[in-house]
Amino acid sequence: MADEPEKIATVAPSHPEEIKSVFELRVGRHISLQGSARITPAGVISTGIAVAAMTLALGYLVASVSRRGK
């Protein structure tokens, strides 16, 4: 067994609650785009918190600019 080469994982280990999505977009007859994404529930929550924080900051900036202009 010591002479066996180490096996290298070609696929990342999946999370048991992982959400996967695969899509194919065809544009005309000759163009085809394929894509895939995966995210865990913790990633969904983190993304939601980040979007909420950016929206709150943008709302604050818009409100302060509109007050300054008057």
pLDDT digits (tens, 9 = 90+) for 34-67: 999 988 999 999 999 999 999 999 999 999 887 7
- Considering the entire predicted model, what is its pTM? 0.55
Where residue 6 falls among pLDDT bands split at 50, 70, 90?
A: low
Average pLDDT over residues 10-26: 80
The alpha carbon of 39 is separated from its chain's Cα centroid by a whole number of angstroms, namely 7
∠24-27-30 over CA atoms, to 5°? 100
Closest CA to 44 of 32, 34, 36, 52: 52
With H, G, I as helix, E, B as strand and everything else as coil, classify residue 11.
coil
- Distance between CA atoms of 20 and 28, rounded to whole angstroms? 27
